[in-house]
Amino acid sequence: MCGICGYYGEQAISNKTLERMNHALVRRGPDEGGIFRDLGVGLAMRRLSIIDLAGGRQPIHNEDGTVWIVFNGEIYNYRELRATLLQRGHRFRTHTDTEVIVHLYEEYGDDLVHHLRGMFAFALWDAHRSRGLLVRDRLGIKPLFYAQAGDTLLFGSEIKAVLATELIERDIDYQALDAFFTFTYIPAPLTIYRRVRKLEPGHLLAYESGRIEERCYWDVDFAETDRQTDGREWLERFDQAIEDAVTSHLVSDVPVGAFLSGGIDSSLVVALMSQHLDEPVQTFTMGFGGARNPLLDERPLARRVADRYGCQFHEYVVQPDFRGIVGEIVDAFDEPFADDSVIPSYYVSQFTRQRVKVALSGLGGDELFAGYKRYSGVLLSLYYSRLMPSALHRWLVQPLIQRLPEPAHGGDRLNHAKRFAAAVLQSPAERYLGFVSTLTSLERCRLFTSPVANQIDFDATNRIITDLYEHCRAPDDLSKALYVDIKTYLPEDILALSDRLSMWHSLEVRVPLVDHSLVELSAQLPYRYKLDWYRKKILLKQIAARRLPTEVTNHRKQGFESPMAAWLRTDLADYARDVLSPSRLNKVGLVDGGYVTSKLEEHLSGRQKNNKLLFSLIMFQEWHERHMA
C-alpha cells in the first residue's frame, strides 16, 4: 500500500517538482519513498510496507530495466501469479506483488488487468514504446487522478499531488459542484477542479506521444441472472465465495485487524477471519457521545461477536468535537465531501492505526445484497404506482406526508417517507434519482447564485444516475438500482471515504465483500434472494446465521454514520450558524445566503430535516476557505 504520482511527457519537470508531488502523499506511505526519472517519464511513490518488508521498495522494474512501475494497493493472488510466471522463465528480484505486475505486462500487455485479483491503482512505463499506462481497479477501491498540462500527463493517488506541480489552474468545475450538492460526493470522472479528472473504476488510460486513450476493461453484468439454481445451492455457493474472499484478503507480512460495527457485514468478516488466523483478531468498534440517537450504538452487539470468537476488543467513543478535526478531513479529500460518516471513520482509522497497519472492513455488503432502505423503496414504489391513483397521491397523500413534523430523536423514517412520496409517480430512473439525491434540480437552482446557476446543466447532473439506470440490461428495477450504486455511490462515496481517511492515518483498509469475483456472482443472484417486502440481505443473513449470535442477525440495520441531524440542532448548532453565516457565504459568492439561512432555520426549529444539505454546505465552505481563499 502506498501513494503514487508522476508524469508522462516531454515537458521539463524538475526533480524538485517530482519530489514535491511525492511529499504531498507522505501520509499514504510514511515508511519510505522512491523516484525514477528518464526521458519523458517520472515515477514516484511513498510506501506503507505490508508485503516483503525488506525488499519491496518501489519503483520496481523488469530484468533489463525497460518496464517500470509504481503501485498502490494489494494483489491477493500474487503468489499464484508469481509461480506461473516463474515457470514461464521470468526472473524476480523481490517477493512483492508489485513486481508480479511488471512481468504480467511483459507476458500479456494491457490484458494483464484480467489476471489481477485485488485493489490497485498503478502507473507503468514501457521504455521500448515510450508509452505510459494508468490503471484503476475494477470497483474503484483505490483512487487515481490525472490532468494534462500541454502534452504532459500528470497523475497521483490524490489531487494534492497533481496540484503540487503548480502547472494546473484551480478553477472550480461548476458541473462537479452541482453534482456534489446533489449526491454529497463528486462522481468520477469529475473532480471539483475543472482541469483534474478521476480515472474511472475498471478503466485504464494509455499515454503515447502526447495523446491519451482511455477505455473500460471491466463492468458488472446484471443481464445474466441465474434463475435455475435453487436457494440451497445459492447459499452454499455464496458461503464458500465469501469465505474465499475473506481468506484471500488476509495475505500480509504484518498483523491484520478488523473494523467491527456490530452489524452483519463486519461481524461475518470477523467470524471468518477468526477461523483462519492463528492469533486472536484485533477488532475496533466505535460509539458516540454527546447528543445522539441511542439506536446508533451497536457496541454491545460488537462485543458479543468479539467474545464468541475470542477477539481482542477495542472500543472508542466519539464526542462531537467536529471543529477539531474538520481541517484534517477536508485536507484528506482535497475536494468537498459530505457523507457524515467521515466523523466516525476518521476516529476509527486513527484509533486502529495505533495497533495495526492493516484492517478488514465489511463495506460492500449493502450494495451486493440490497441492504439499504431505498432498495425497499424501489420495490414498494413499483406496486404503489400501479395501485394508487396518481391524482389521489398528488393531491392528498403527498401533501399530508410533507406536513408531518420531524421526530425529535432525529430518526430517518419520516424523511424516507417524504422522499418516497415525492418520487413515487416518476419514471423508475427518475424515481431512483430522487431516492439518492439531496436536492432536486429546482432546489439546486435556488441554492446557487444566478451567475453560477447559469453555468450549470442541471439535467446533465441528473443523467449521471438516470443514464446508468436506463442503460443497465438488468431484468428488474432492483438490479438496476444496485448497478447504479456499484458504479457511483460505492466507489466515489463509500470506498473513497474509507481510502482517504484510513490512508490519512497510514492505515490500509481491505474490503473483501467488494472482491470482484464476489460482485460478479452477486449480479447473477435473483433479487428474491436479496430482498422482499419485509427482509433485506436475505441470503447474506442466512450465511451469517451459521456463525453469528441471533441478536446480531436479527438486529435492525443502523449503518456506520454519525447522528448529524441531532448534532446540528445541539452540539454543532452554533458552529453551523457561524460557518453558514451570510457574511462567510457571501465572501465565496457561489450560493444564495438567504436560501441557506432558511434551510438552516427549518432544521434548527425541527420543521424540516435538512442535515444532508447543511453538512454539504459546511464541508464546501470549509474546503473553499482552506483551498481557494
Catalytic residues: 2
Q: Alpha-carbon distance 258 to 359, whole Å?
A: 5
Residues 214-229: b if buried by 16+ CB within 10 A, e if exposed: eeeebebebeebeeee
Question: Strand 60-61 relative to strand 41-47: parallel, antiparallel, unpaired?
Answer: unpaired
Please provide residue 303's backbone torsions phi and psi, each rounded to the nearest 5 degrees.
-65, -35
Provide the residue type at 256 as one letter.
Answer: V
How far apart CA 375 and CA 435 sit, in angstroms, is 9
Amino acid at 375: Y
Are the CB atoms for 186 and 488 separated by under 8 Å?
no
What's the rounded Cα separation, in Å, for the pair 85 and 107? 8
Distance CA(582)–CA(27), nearest Å, equals 35
Contact 141, 511 (CB under 8 A): yes
CA atoms within 13 A on the CB side of 215: 8
- Alpha-carbon distance of 48 to 505, in angstroms, equals 11
CA separation for the pair 42, 77 (Å, rounded): 28
Q: What whole-number distance in Å separates Cα of residue 15 and Cα of residue 222?
A: 47
Taking phi over 0 as left and psi of -120 to 50 as alpha, with beta for the rest, 370 belongs to left
Distance CA 231, CA 205 (A): 41
Residue 468 cell numbers, joined? 446508468
Task: Determine the Cα–Cα distance for residues 177 and 184; give it in Å rounded to an integer.
Answer: 10
Q: What length is written for the chain?
A: 629
Element (H, E) at 489: helix 489-489
Evaluate whether 611 touches 565 at the Cβ level (below 8 Å): yes
Report yes or no: 204 and 214 within 8 Å, Cβ to Cβ: yes
Rounded CA gap, 435 and 443, in Å?
15
Distance of CA 89 to the CA centre of its chain: 39
Peptide bond into 189 cis (omega under 30): yes
**Separation between Cα atoms, residue 507 and residue 48, nearest integer Å:** 8
How far, in Å, are 260, 327, 434, 608 from residue 598 at the CA level? 39, 26, 22, 11
